[in-house]
Homo-oligomer: A and B are copies of this chain.
Amino acid sequence: MAKNSKLTGNMLIAQSGGPTVVINQSLIGAVLEAKKHKEIKKIYGSLHGILGILNENFIDLGKESKATLEAVANTPSSALGSVRKKPTPEDCAKIFQVMQKYDVRYFFYIGGNDSAETTHIINEEARKAGYEFRCFHICKTIDNDLRENDHTPGFGSGAKFVASAFMGDNLDNRALPGVKINVVMGRHAGFLTAASALARVYPDDGPHLVYLPERPFDMDRFLADVKTVNEKYGRCVVAVSEGISDAEGTAIAAKFTKEVDAHGNVQLSGSGALGDLLADQVKAKLQIKRVRADTFGYLQRSFPGVVSAVDAKEARLAGQAAVKFANGGKFANGSTAIKRKPGKSYRTWIERTELKNVAKETRHMPDEFINAEGNNVTAAFIRYAAPIVGPLPPVGRFKGVKVKKIG
């Protein structure tokens, strides 16, 4: 395919879907890169994704100082605001009116697979309308479930939060033994829940059991697993994905909520119902006295200061790469995908991929990352995830020389 010609005009960038602690790295990476391209004139930021385009609610990112841009890059959540809105055909028509009116020739949308779908729809409409512009999706999601990507910006930091939380919670559970169930984000993909396993330092450390959406969840099997671990260690720490589903594919949590978003997803986060249900089952069926459940909730994607350095760097690079691809690259549209060299040493780069390859469908945990019993992760997963997450806080333990009892 012929090299894409240079195109002069304004740029519009927006953020969509669930925020992460590094999504602003991608935003600022794109803005700083755009400033180097003389073809890109104004740099508009749309507030709250496509909602801001429909309402022509833009801010001028060219008027922000370098210091502010860097401060925002290191701030969690979506600085431009986010949205969960699927555009209708009427919305798309309106979006192009706005694009033309503001001479927007470069459009960048940072988000997950739903956002990639939105970008894809906008691009298709533009193509049909014969509107010449560059349209790129910038990969992002703590769920780590985008196809074409080895992993996604946001996952490393979310995973670092989850692993750190389990590290502390395992120590808490060791001090006051019982059964502790922690519910982790992840609708269809178990990567974030699996990251809990990175918390293990000593052989008896939790999480002792890990339940993922990739395997059907069976309550009796779960209770038997907890019983076995509790008998072995006198305690049990469990990681459960919010998206665990029964053999028919019905989310266990969905039995307790009716709320759905614009993309038809049932609301799973922001409620403690699943954790409480599982804790009640353990109490009632196993007669274990001390049973607690925590639902990590939105902290997983927004906690300031708990950031994977690798994740922050890659998020920045993804934003930069999108602008490079858009201006003078081979293609007028696409998505950024993180690729990784196979083998022991960690090396990654950003490639351009087709929008349709990333949109709609999600990626799941490969079989090699899940144990045969479906209640834990494998060493292959640890090798995969550890370099993305980076070092965790060091923890120590007494040698614990027993004092001989006096008879």
What is A's interface to B at a CB cutoff of 8 Å? 15, 18-19, 21, 42, 44-45, 48, 56, 58-61, 63-65, 68, 70-84, 101-102, 164-165, 167-169, 171-172, 174-176, 180, 269-273, 275-276, 279, 291-299, 301-306, 392-403, 405-406
The reply to whether B304 and A168 contact each other, CB–CB distance below 8 Å, is yes
Chain B residue numbers with a CB within 8 Å of A169 are: 298-299, 302
8 Å CB contact of A401 from B60, B269, B398: B60
A-B contact pairs, 14 of them (CB 8 A): A19-B172, A19-B176, A59-B402, A59-B403, A60-B402, A68-B399, A70-B396, A71-B397, A76-B167, A102-B406, A171-B304, A172-B301, A270-B294, A271-B292
Q: Which residue of B lies closest to A20 (CB)?
A: B172
Measured in the bound complex, the distance between the Cα atoms of B27 and A206 in whole Å is 24
The reply to whether B172 and A396 contact each other, CB–CB distance below 8 Å, is no
Chain B residue numbers with a CB within 8 Å of A21 are: 168
The reply to whether A294 and B304 contact each other, CB–CB distance below 8 Å, is no
8 Å CB contact of A303 from B18, B165, B270, B273: B165
8 Å CB contact of A45 from B73, B275, B398: B398
14 new A-B contacts, CB < 8 A, other than A59-B400, A60-B403, A304-B393, are A56-B403, A61-B398, A74-B394, A75-B171, A76-B395, A79-B397, A102-B403, A180-B298, A269-B292, A270-B291, A272-B273, A272-B276, A292-B297, A294-B298
Q: Which residue of B lies closest to A72 (CB)?
A: B396
Chain B residue numbers with a CB within 8 Å of A84 are: 176
Residue from A71, A79, A302, A403 having most chain B Cβ neighbours under 10 A: A403
Q: Which residue of B lies closest to A42 (CB)?
A: B403
Measured in the bound complex, the distance between the Cα atoms of B48 and A303 in whole Å is 32
Given contacts A58-B403, A279-B270, contact A298 B292 (CB under 8 A): yes
Chain B residue numbers with a CB within 8 Å of A77 are: 168, 171-172, 174-175
The reply to whether B56 and A304 contact each other, CB–CB distance below 8 Å, is no
Measured in the bound complex, the distance between the Cα atoms of B297 and A306 in whole Å is 18
Residue from A270, A296, A405 having most chain B Cβ neighbours under 10 A: A270
Question: How many copies of the shown chain assemble into the complex?
Answer: 2
Measured in the bound complex, the distance between the Cα atoms of B399 and A72 in whole Å is 10
Chain B residue numbers with a CB within 8 Å of A403 are: 42, 44, 56, 58-60, 102
Measured in the bound complex, the distance between the Cα atoms of B42 and A195 in whole Å is 42
Q: Which residue of B lies closest to A84 (CB)?
A: B176
Chain B residue numbers with a CB within 8 Å of A394 are: 71, 74-75
Chain B residue numbers with a CB within 8 Å of A101 are: 406
Q: How far is the CB of A138 from chain B (nearest CB, A)?
A: 16
Q: How far is the CB of A394 from chain B (nearest CB, A)?
A: 7
Given contacts A19-B171, A171-B19, A270-B279, contact A395 B71 (CB under 8 A): yes
Q: How far is the CB of A50 from chain B (nearest CB, A)?
A: 14
Q: Which residue of B lies closest to A303 (CB)?
A: B168
Measured in the bound complex, the distance between the Cα atoms of B298 and A279 in whole Å is 15
Chain B residue numbers with a CB within 8 Å of A269 are: 292
8 Å CB contact of A402 from B58, B102, B296, B303: B58
